[in-house]
Amino acid sequence: MVHSLTKYLGGHSDVIGGAVITANEELATRIHYLQKGLGGVLGAFDSWLVLRGIETLAVRMDRHAANALAVAQFLEKHPAVSRTLYPGLPGHPGPRLPRVR
């Protein structure tokens, strides 16, 4: 899995970073080799910026989810929109998801 630290984990638009996560030991060894050889490691300050962003991640994600639900509810009622698919809406055909607080 490749994850951007810049967008959600950083949260303040002041750091550029990413993470590669795998349960495959052979792939992890190859990535580690490249990481050491190419220097693709965050510095101490950049790491601190990501840790600072993680502290507010839950609050920011709650707000993201609430805003997405509000947009979906608006679109669901809009006369120009024929169908709205969003997992948080009661009529969504997929599995039930927990409601946003």
Note whether 71 and 95 are same-domain residues: yes
Question: What's the pLDDT score for residue 99?
Answer: 62
Q: What is the pTM of this model?
A: 0.66
Note whether 21 and 43 are same-domain residues: yes
Note whether 48 and 66 are same-domain residues: no
Question: Confidence band (pLDDT; 50, 70, 90) for 98?
Answer: low
Residues 51 and 45 sit within 8 Å (Cβ to Cβ)? no
23-63 pLDDT tens trace: 999 999 999 999 888 887 889 999 999 999 999 999 999 99
Note whether 49 and 70 are same-domain residues: no
